[in-house]
């Protein structure tokens, strides 16, 4: 079993059995696992980012209308199927983790329409490991109760991907949308 397969199996187990799962009790009853693209080695990148000398503070609106502060750290460009794509990397202003929210051309038909996330770790030589095979849906993607009932209380508040991280290319890696067959 590859490390990615192992990660996905552990995530499915967490979603089905853990009390902190984003799934409701009813959703967990018939849960048979999340849907993913097959592993795509071409979308696993070790790449330097172009760091901004003056890092600006950015406010991201969330799915519930609140706001979260991030710092725009830098950007990177990469090639997908012969097209160049550029994404911004953010850092949580309080916790310090690196965050990559994005929407690509697979949304909303194959992936969650509001975007997917990647958590990033710097590696040696000033580079980041950016592995789109680990792209995941925010917790809001699993409980879209407000679409059925506008008066329902949302369980999660998720940052929405900024427009500057909307891609015209397809990122065929990582998690697919949850509600496709549910």
**So what's the pLDDT on residue 181?**
44
CA gap 67, 105 in Å, rounded: 26
Q: Where are the alpha helices (DSSP H) in the chain?
A: 3-17, 25-29, 145-148
Q: What is the pLDDT of residues 162-177, one digit of tens each?
A: 999 999 999 999 999 9
Q: What is the pLDDT of residues 20-41, one digit of tens each?
A: 999 888 888 889 999 999 999 9
**So what's the pLDDT on residue 25?**
86
* pLDDT above 60 for 146: no
Q: Mean pLDDT across the chain, nearest whole number?
A: 90
Q: What is the pLDDT of residues 95-138, one digit of tens each?
A: 889 999 999 999 999 999 999 999 998 998 879 999 999 999 99
Burial 4-27 (b: 16+ CB within 10 A, else e): beeebeebeeebbeeeebbbeeeb
3-state DSSP: the chain helix, strand, coil percent, rounded to 5?
25, 35, 45
Dihedral sign for Cα 168, 125, 56, 141, please: positive
């Amino acid at each position: 079993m590859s490390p990615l397969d192992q990660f996905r199996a552990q995530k499915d187990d967490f979603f089905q059995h853990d009390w902190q799962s984003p799934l409701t009790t009813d959703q967990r009853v018939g849960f048979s696992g999340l849907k993913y693209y097959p592993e795509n080695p071409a979308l696993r990148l070790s790449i330097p980012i172009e760091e901004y000398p003056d890092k600006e503070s950015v406010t991201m609106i969330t799915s519930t209308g609140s706001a979260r502060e991030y710092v725009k750290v830098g950007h990177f460009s990469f090639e997908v199927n012969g097209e160049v794509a550029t994404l911004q990397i953010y850092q949580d202003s309080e916790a310090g983790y690196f965050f990559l929210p994005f929407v690509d051309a697979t949304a909303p038909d194959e992936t969650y329409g509001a975007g997917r996330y990647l958590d990033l770790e710097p590696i040696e030589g000033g580079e980041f490991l950016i592995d789109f095979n680990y792209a995941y849906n925010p917790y809001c993607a699993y409980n879209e109760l407000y679409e059925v009932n506008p008066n329902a209380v949302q369980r999660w508040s998720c940052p929405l991907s900024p427009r500057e991280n909307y891609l015209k290319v397809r990122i065929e890696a990582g998690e697919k949308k949850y509600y496709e067959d549910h």
